Structure 1
Amino acid sequence: MLMTAESKNESGMLAAECAGNDIRIFIEGDTLFDAMLSDFSSARRRVWLESYIFADDAIGREFLKVLTDCSRRGLDVRVRVDALGSKFGFSGGSAHCLKAAGVKFVWCHPWQWRKPWLFHRRNHRKLAVVDDQIAYLGGFNITALNSRRISGDARWRDTHFRLSGPLVDDARRAFESFARGDLKWQRGGNRDGMELLTNHGRACRFRLRCHLKDRFNAARKRLWLTTPYFVPDSGTQRDLCRAASKGVDVRVLVPGKSDVPFVQWAARAAYSTLLASGIRIFEYQPRVLHAKTLIVDDDWSTVGRANFDYRSLFINYELNLAAECHALNATLATIFESDLNESLEVRQRPCSRRLPSARVGDLIGWSERQWP
């Protein structure tokens, strides 16, 4: 399998080629949004989009205009938005405008009195499919929070992919399968080491969790994790600690500034155990870190929507790209190291020296680790 990687440019976009798939890696929201809107505008058959958060702010309105224009041109335009994730950011008026233009708009899992348990399970995926040529997936929501033009230096730090090549067909099938209720869709095998992973499977109930466990156990050199919400279950903690005890370089990069404080409390409640096992933990300082990447050794990596918490591994609907590709692994490692340069390493602190209020906060956060 191939592979070449391009170095980072000033726009915040990098690239790698894997098994016939061209992968562009976005770490700046404005660059990503410009690329998505350009591809949507050039579409000839279909534009399918799903997002956990779709805000009808300055960025969202640009997407609304392009999506309605595409539909009026006769394209098959479908938009699926999570009813909880976008509850306070996407108005009923915007939904009506899309529908009036012919867009097939769906609220995913709205509150139902007859099926209240469904509200607990959220569609956390972010996927776009353009014709049969291009797909986007990753961590960026459609919101001005990700735009430097609008939010300035406080914009969120995230990672997203643009794919062209054989994997686009899998992305289309993943979108269609979810729409018809096949929540455990999987292609069956991979494409030369490239695979789209949902977190619910047939052979393994929690497919993403099983996949990660296998990779953790097989790691020999490094295991570098970036996640905004680090609240792993006890089994995942043991897997990480076991890898570190075998001499694997285990590093966890989390935000120093979090948009969900009690989840950060929960993450810090686990620090002592992880640090004692030899795991290194870093907190990113400049802004909110929302990227979700995992690098194992020199050849395997994953990027997607899944957080490293209980909800993503066991409850919500997620979609990740997993790749055995040296070029992609190397590019993501370069990004990881760059982020470490803007982070502070967490040092072991005896629990007795911590303020009682901090310890109480940790316990509250850990008890609330299944936050919606």
Structure 2
Amino acid sequence: MMTFYTVINWLLLFGYWLLIAGVTLKVMIKRRAVPSSMAWLLIIYILPLVGIITYLLFGELNLGKRRAERSKAFWPSAAKWMEDMKGTPCLFTNRSSEVARSVLQLCEHRQGMGGLKGNGIQLLTSADDALKSLIHDITLAKNNIEIVFYVWQSGGLVEQVGEALMASSRRGVRCRLMLDSAGSLSFFRSPYPALMRDAGVHVVEALHVSILRVFLRRMDLRQHRKMVLIDNYIAYSGSMNMVDPRLFKQDAGVGQWIDIMARMEGPVARAMGIIFACDWAIETGEHILPSLNTNLIPFKPTEDHNSIQVIASGPGSPEGVIHQALLISIYSARKTLVMTTPYLIPSDDLLQAICTAAQRGVEVHIIVPRHNDSILVNWASRAFFSELLEAGVLIHQFEGGLLHTKSVLVDRQLSLVGTVNLDMRSLWLNFEITLVIDHNAFGYDLARVQEDYLARSQLIEATIWSNRPYWQRIIERLFYFFSPLL
């Protein structure tokens, strides 16, 4: 009997170490940043069972077999669509500002399509203005409406957006609505999905969260894009979720969320349409390529630099392209660089680029919220402040609410706005979208918005920061340890 139990114990011990060895190999074989790999290995060896389970859940970018097959099946038709679109050369710019030239070349080579010209673009800095403009455009829609958001929370003006969408569907406009399962959990538990489907709106719950499938797909991979497309001509994107900030997370103690949205008219809507089509195909298997009928897009010739490039990230998109675009943009700065983000957990490359910009004489400002809805990120981001301040970066803490705007402005000319936070999750994991805008008028408008943020912020003094309590430094370093995994 003792021999039997001894064999069982040895088998269990052997299986235990075999499992650890197998997961260790998975960590080491996949090429990733060294700090990330080291963090995973330390967690696995310090807390083996917890570390192994955590890695299997969150360690690799696993879209799931069915979604991966749908993505693979979609791209041949998407590639042909892009080739056909490039057959209309008048849509693409052959001019750019000096500061934007490198990043636009990168996007063209990596994504297969150049920057688009002839777009009208308007920066919306008020949630009321953005929602009212959206309601107006949805009401006037004639052919199709495609919408994707991370969060949709009913209440306030969002109710009117939903009513306008259902009314448009009832009068024959094709309406598709895709919302993230985790971000819009309260929406999917409400009567609204049924009401919208009854009105003819095709509602899809993206990346459905299911405990039964936690080991088959990475559950924290989220659909984080924010896009509205109307009639293949009007497009919205930015940092704002489909929420009324006067009602959203009012019990979090961080104030109202502050966001921006860009409203665009022109060829850029079709480029964003192919991104939505890919997301839709991944979730439903249905291919809905945007129309290439040039009559649907009145071309607006312009004499000044005016081009927009759309960058998508996430499974199925060129890996790391938004990260590369940020790096190139930062290195292109010659005079000023202003960045706003609610979550500051930069990669080593981004941190080095920002510090180098300040050290070579660029006036660098980073604006982050003083109070954050994520305690983990709030403490981890503070671990980067000392290095940034020592390099001469000016860090401002916004005190007028939770600054949720994601923006980069280089030399008041090149703007990057969209859904991407300066953290690992946005840069390497989630489905995100960034607009690269080479336009001096838009840059001027964004600069005024950022100047307003600066006026409502408190500058962190390097000397005062260096004298902060020692216990705070310990907490910062503790959470910094997990920063490669955030």
Q: Equivalents in 2 of 1:366, 1:142: separation in Å? A: 31
Superposed displacement of residue 39, structure 1: 0.7
Q: Equivalents in 2 of 1:156, 1:228: separation in Å? A: 10
Matched, 1:347 2:438: no
Superposed displacement of residue 208, structure 1: 0.2
Superposed displacement of residue 2, structure 1: 10
- Which deviations, in whole Å up to 9, do the C-alpha atoms of 1:257-288 show, x marking residues without a partner? 22223212111111001100111100111211
Change (3 A) 1:89 1:273: farther
Change (3 A) 1:203 1:61: closer
Deviates more, 1:257-266 or 1:99-108: 257-266
Q: Match of 1:95?
A: 193
Q: Equivalents in 1 of 2:147, 2:412: separation in Å? A: 32
Choose the corresponding residue for 2:362, options 221, 245, 248: 248
- Matched to 2:138, the amino acid is F
| 8 A contact 1:256–1:283 mirrored in 2 | yes
Matched, 1:167 2:167: no
- Matched to 2:420, the amino acid is A
Q: Equivalents in 2 of 1:178, 1:168: separation in Å? A: 15
| 8 A contact 1:284–1:340 mirrored in 2 | yes
- Matched to 2:456, the amino acid is E
Q: Equivalents in 2 of 1:354, 1:88: separation in Å? A: 40
Superposed displacement of residue 174, structure 1: 1.8
Q: Match of 2:143?
A: 45
Change (3 A) 1:311 1:61: same
Superposed displacement of residue 212, structure 1: 1.1
Number of corresponding residues:
349
Matched, 1:33 2:134: no
- Matched to 1:121, the amino acid is L
Deviates more, 1:94-103 or 1:131-140: 94-103
Change (3 A) 1:203 1:342: closer
Matched, 1:326 2:440: yes
Q: Match of 2:113?
A: none
Q: Match of 1:295?
A: 409
| 8 A contact 2:155–2:247 mirrored in 1 | no
Would you tell me which structure has more strand in proportion to its own residues?
1
Q: Equivalents in 2 of 1:98, 1:73: separation in Å? A: 13
- Matched to 1:34, the amino acid is K
| 8 A contact 2:336–2:364 mirrored in 1 | yes
| 8 A contact 1:232–1:308 mirrored in 2 | yes
Q: Equivalents in 2 of 1:312, 1:283: separation in Å? A: 21
- Which deviations, in whole Å up to 9, do the C-alpha atoms of 1:207-257 show, x marking residues without a partner? 100111112222222211011111111121111111111111111011112
Q: Match of 2:301?
A: none
Matched, 1:234 2:332: no
Superposed displacement of residue 173, structure 1: 1.8
Superposed displacement of residue 158, structure 1: 0.8
Choose the corresponding residue for 2:449, options 326, 332, 335: 335
Change (3 A) 1:23 1:265: same
Choose the corresponding residue for 1:123, options 223, 238, 256: 223
Choose the corresponding residue for 2:157, options 59, 65, 84: 59
Aligned-residue RMSD, C-alpha: 2.8
> What's the TM-score, normalizing by structure 1?
0.86
Q: Match of 2:258?
A: 157
Superposed displacement of residue 350, structure 1: 6.9
Change (3 A) 1:202 1:84: closer
Q: Match of 1:180?
A: 281
Superposed displacement of residue 301, structure 1: 1.0
Superposed displacement of residue 181, structure 1: 3.2
- Matched to 1:42, the amino acid is L
> Matched residues, percent identical?
26
- Which deviations, in whole Å up to 9, do the C-alpha atoms of 1:109-150 show, x marking residues without a partner? 0124345433221111000011122110001111122579x9
Change (3 A) 1:341 1:233: same
> What's the TM-score, normalizing by structure 2?
0.67
Superposed displacement of residue 335, structure 1: 1.3
1:211-226 to 2 correspondence within 5 Å? 211-226=325-340
Q: Equivalents in 2 of 1:146, 1:75: separation in Å? A: 30
Superposed displacement of residue 96, structure 1: 1.7
SS of residue paired to 2:218: helix
1:359-370 to 2 correspondence within 5 Å? 359-369=473-483
Deviates more, 1:212-221 or 1:161-170: 212-221
- Matched to 2:432, the amino acid is E
SS of residue paired to 1:144: coil
Change (3 A) 1:275 1:160: same
SS of residue paired to 2:245: helix
Q: Equivalents in 2 of 1:165, 1:193: separation in Å? A: 11
Unmatched segments (≥5 aa) in structure 1: 4-17
- Matched to 1:249, the amino acid is E
- Matched to 1:199, the amino acid is S
| 8 A contact 1:292–1:305 mirrored in 2 | yes
- Which deviations, in whole Å up to 9, do the C-alpha atoms of 1:10-66 show, x marking residues without a partner? xxxxxxxx9421111111101110110111111111111111100123333222222
Unmatched segments (≥5 aa) in structure 2: 1-94, 98-115, 284-289, 291-304
SS of residue paired to 1:67: helix
Change (3 A) 1:246 1:145: same
Superposed displacement of residue 202, structure 1: 7.9
Change (3 A) 1:271 1:304: same
Q: Match of 1:68?
A: 166
Would you tell me which structure has more helix in proportion to its own residues?
2
SS of residue paired to 2:200: coil
